[in-house]
Amino acid sequence: MDAAYALGGGKKNYKNDAERVAYLIELSQRHTRLLPTDKAKSTRRARAA
């Protein structure tokens, strides 16, 4: 897996699992922060008759 991460700009070898997980979280944030967010749906109240 480290070889695959290296292709994406990561290190070729990680010191430990914590360093590897930190890189994966950074990679995830980098790719998801540009995603559009859903706007809050407005709810309409029924009119009282």
- Report the pLDDT value the prediction gives residue 15, as an integer from 0 to 100: 87
**2-49 pLDDT tens trace:** 777 777 777 778 889 898 889 889 888 888 887 676 665 556 666 665
String of DSSP letters for 1-49: -HHHHHHTT--SS-SSHHHHHHHHHHHHHHHHTTSPPPPPPP-PPPPP-
Q: According to the model, what pLDDT value does residue 42 have?
A: 56
What is the per-residue pLDDT for 3? 79
pLDDT at 41: 56
Task: Indicate the domain borders of the chain.
Answer: 2-32
The confidence score (pLDDT) of residue 12 equals 78
